[in-house]
Chain A
Amino acid sequence: MSADQLSHRLPSYLEYQGKYKGLLGWILSTDHKRIGLLYFYSMITFFLAGVVMGLLMKLELIAPGQTIMTAQTYNGLFTIHGLTMIFLFVIPGLIAVYGNFMLPIMIGARDVAFPKINLLSWYLYLLGALIVLASQFMGDGPPDTGWTFYAPYSLQTHTNVLAAVTGAFILGFSSILTGLNFVVTIHQMRAPGMGFFRMPLFSWALYGTAWIQLLATPVVGITFLMVVAERVFHIGFFDPTLGGDPILYQHLFWIYSHPAVYIMILPAMGAITEIITTFSNRVVFGYKAIALSSLAIAFVGYFVWGHHMFTSGMSDTARWIFSLLTFLVAIPSAIKVFNWTATLYKGSIDLQPPFWWALGFIFVFMIGGFSGLVLGAVATDVHVQDTAFVVAHFHYIVFGGTGFAFFGALHFWYPKMFGKVYNRRIANIGLLIFFIGFNWLYFPMFILGMMGMPRRYFDYLPEFHSWNVVSTIGSWILATGLIIIITNLLRGKKGTPLEIDNPWNGRTLEWQIQSPPPLENFEHIPTITKGPYERHNTEE
């Protein structure tokens, strides 16, 4: 195969000139690789905007009382920060970028099942994003409800909730269509010889995630429609003055939003599996356990949503049932960590930047996960619910989890996507500073939460001051690390093209083709003869 590659190289998908040239050739492209990059560039932009929002919030919190903004501004800021990070970054996340780019190649296909719908997904993503961001500038001011839009306040506030939930609804549609595309792609387009149990584990992760996208998203979709009906027609579903139950809103909202966190984390875990396996230079430990635990997490994850509602006024019966189910769902997640550790054991470890990201992921994800046990047990949750403890928990899990995996995957697949490589020493330094800043920023929040500092407050009691100062300084260190990382990656793109297609000696299909890939991925669709992490797993 490599002789074939050396003798004649096809033009890459980056160079390909089809019916449309230039920018049009990108925004009208149905090529899954270009669509993956379109998502990437839009998402990074929104992510960086979200980072700025976060930095501003931390700056406000460096001292009690008003520091740089009013309370109303702060409320609007944590709302849009949540909306941006969740709906515009971590939910599309690894799916829209690496799923789009790698899934077809990893299963030996030329594209996804429905390439035009794939492009439509991106258009809907942009449209939804623009409407959500427009809510900041229209009407009576940016929404101040938090990204959770709890009733009855979301029904009463004069701020621009309508635009925000409409944008979120459209974003949901984008997510649903991507999930649909991936399920069909995985069922129908695997290369000859690639049964389900010869797929790479990233593909398994995407499969489980796609089902969550399909089945959970419509529930929040209809919930947002009901919020619109409440605000416009006073229909009464969640309005206690009309007989409605605000807790029902929470049920419906979290029926989606809990599975949504599995949308965030499953692909992340899939990417980490790929990275750890590749840089251990061996077959993954416990392939079936990891594959099936992805499905188990997706399935059980539907039934734990009430752990966000322990202090809402639910019945005691509901509280202990949700707590029990929550502890159950931790099991398949733990299985994955055991398998990663076992894969490292007796592997021939190659200490490259993606690998350090993966190790960092395991560290911060574990801390986030353990803090989740405190929140999953009703007796401890009631003390820390709605405090900074929860904020620390989900930033460790989501930013630590999906965020680390996103950047780790970026460093991993960078040579594949761009045919270039970045400066590895600077990448590691950037990661180190980022890692230190990350923990410096978020760990104090656990302490503050235990001490009793509420979340979503722009002011706080004097006893919380010193830890807040520590935390805010952490945000600057984190930002410094990010700047180094991103600058390094940008400079890498300007560098000389890489001579080799497989710098990490990866064994999955994407590493067996050119870097960057040609338009149709494969000259000839391979026939698969062994598992995805074995050497020489195709026949010519």
Chain B
Amino acid sequence: MEQTATHSLEHRDDTASKLGMWLFIFTEILLFGGLFIVYSVYRYKYPVAFHLANQELDKTIGLINTVILLISSMTVAMSVSAIKEGKKKLTITLLGITLLLALIFLVNKYFEWGAKFHHGLYPGSGILHDLGHGDTLFFGLYFFMTGLHALHIIIGMTLLAVVLLKVKNERINSGDYVLLENGGLYWHLVDLIWIFLFPLFYLIH
């Protein structure tokens, strides 16, 4: 805007904006994809260890977290409908619920990881080393992938918080809501990744 003259670029292109976000989502898919390649190779190489290590994870927390994220995807999708209908308050409420659910997810993760550390299960620990190669790789992947995922939850929360503020001061409204849609898309991506992480770490044996 500073160096380019103001009159010509006012022409808003929401399709371009949305396409840009989808392309970014593709890069995130490939980013986590690299880790899924690593996971599939080591599951193949250490099937027994992965089977046993899987028992160490708490299925209940995993399930609760899955349900939480699915609900939050619904609430953020609903918020898009709400803004299109011009219902500012409802939009804000739905976004707020999404953020709250995200926070609960992170709190659950915090306790989950805490329990693991308490039992001496973390990359580089003596106990993990004694458990052997397969367990080392399982937990290495567990911490790295859920950790990277949690980082993306935080990024998603930040994005949605910014979006919420913009809804509040009506910079996002029923005539201009592509930012909300894009924030929602990013949030759904975070959900998509977890949809795969959950069975791979908590369920399959």
Asked if A and B touch directly (CB within 8 angstroms), the answer is yes
Residues of A within 8 A of B (CB): 16, 18-20, 25, 28-31, 34, 110-111, 113-116, 176, 179-181, 183-184, 187-189, 214-219, 221-223, 225-226, 229, 233-237, 242-245, 248, 251-252, 255, 519-520
- Bound-state CA distance A219–B38 (Å) is 11
Q: How far is the CB of B142 from the nearest CB of chain A, in Å?
A: 10
Instruction: Given A115-B4, A219-B34, A222-B35, decide whether A242 and B133 contact each other with a Cβ distance below 8 A.
Output: yes
In the complex, what's the smallest C-beta–C-beta distance from A225 to chain B, in angstroms? 8
B33 / chain A contacts, CB cutoff of 8 Å: 218-219
Residue on B with the closest CB to A180? B23
Nearest-neighbour CB distance to chain B for A25, whole angstroms, equals 7
Selecting from B7-15, B107-115, B164-172, B186-194, the interface stretch reads B7-15
The 9 closest A-B pairs by CB, nearest first: A243-B133, A222-B34, A218-B31, A218-B30, A29-B3, A235-B140, A234-B124, A233-B123, A19-B2
Give the chain B neighbours of A234 by CB distance below 8 A: 123-124
In the assembled complex, 26 residue pairs joining A and B whose CB atoms fall closer than 8 Å, in A order, are A16-B3, A29-B3, A31-B3, A110-B4, A111-B9, A184-B20, A188-B15, A214-B27, A215-B26, A218-B31, A219-B31, A222-B31, A229-B140, A234-B124, A235-B143, A236-B133, A236-B136, A236-B137, A237-B38, A242-B133, A243-B132, A243-B136, A243-B137, A248-B41, A252-B38, A520-B8
Inter-chain contact A235/B24, CB cutoff 8 Å: no
Contacts of B2 in A (CB 8 A): 18-20, 28-30
Q: Given A219-B33, A223-B34, A235-B144, answer yes or no on A184-B23 (Cβ-Cβ < 8 Å).
A: yes
State the CA gap A214–B31 with chains docked (Å): 10
Contact A30 B23 (CB under 8 A): no
**B23: which A residues are within 8 A, CB to CB?**
179-180, 183-184, 214
Extra 12 A-B pairs, beta carbons < 8 Å, given A19-B3, A245-B45, A252-B37: A20-B2, A31-B4, A179-B23, A214-B26, A215-B26, A219-B33, A233-B124, A235-B143, A235-B144, A236-B140, A519-B4, A520-B4
Interface range, B side: 35 or more
Q: Does B183 contact A (CB under 8 A)?
A: no
Residue of A116, A226, A235 with highest tally of chain B CB at under 10 A: A235
The answer to whether B19 touches A184 (Cβ under 8 A) is: yes
Identify which of B5, B8, B27, B123 contacts A236 (C-beta below 8 A): B123
Q: Which residues of B contact A (CB under 8 A)?
A: 1-5, 8-9, 13, 15-16, 19-20, 23-24, 26-28, 30-35, 37-38, 41-42, 45-46, 123-124, 129, 132-134, 136-137, 140-141, 143-144, 148
Question: Contact: B124 with A111, CB < 8 Å?
Answer: no
Q: Whole-angstrom distance between the alpha carbons of A36 and B36 in the complex? A: 37
Are the CB atoms of B3 and A237 closer together than 8 Å? no
Question: Bound state CA distance, A179 and B137, in angstroms?
Answer: 34
Q: Report chain B residues within 8 Å CB of A180.
A: 20, 23-24, 27
A187-B19 in contact (CB<8A): yes
Nearest B residue (CB) for A245: B41
Assess whether B136 is in contact with A218, with CB atoms less than 8 Å apart.
no
CA distance A176 to B23 in the complex (A): 10
User: Closest CB of chain B to A37's CB: distance in Å?
Assistant: 13
A240: shortest Cβ distance to chain B, in Å?
Answer: 9
**Chain B residues positioned under 8 Å from A235 (CB to CB):** 123-124, 140, 143-144
Q: Which residues of A contact B140 (CB under 8 A)?
A: 229, 235-237, 242
Shortest Cβ distance from residue A254 to the other chain B in the assembled complex, whole angstroms = 12
CA gap between A152 and B28 in the complex, in Å: 27
In the assembled complex, which residues on chain B have CB atoms less than 8 Å from the CB atom of A189?
16
CB within 8 A of B34: which of A110, A218, A233, A244? A218
Contact of B30 among A114, A188, A215, A244 (CB under 8 A): A215
Bound complex: CA of A245 vs CA of B137, how far in Å? 11
Residue in A closest to B13 when the chains form the complex, CB atoms: A188
Give the residues in chain B near A242, CB-CB below 8 Å: 129, 133, 136-137, 140
Contact of A188 among B19, B42, B136 (CB under 8 A): B19
Q: With A30-B2, A188-B19, A234-B123 as known contacts, state yes or no: A215 contacts B27, CB within 8 Å.
A: yes
* Contacting residue for B123 out of A229, A251, A252, CB 8 A: A229
Q: How far is the CA of A219 from the CA of B36 in the complex (A)?
A: 11
- A320 vs B150: C-alpha distance in the bound complex, in angstroms? 40
Most central of B20, B26, B46 by chain A CB within 10 Å: B20
Q: Are B4 and A111 touching (Cβ within 8 A)?
A: yes
What is the distance, in angstroms, from A81's C-beta to the closest C-beta of chain B?
27
For residue B20, which residues in chain A have a CB less than 8 angstroms away from its CB? 113-114, 180-181, 184
Compute how far the CA of A181 lies from the CA of B31 in the bound complex, rounded to whole angstroms: 19
Contact of A226 among B26, B38, B143 (CB under 8 A): B38
B136 with A519: CB separation less than 8 A: no
Whole-angstrom distance between the Cβ of B16 and the nearest chain A Cβ: 4
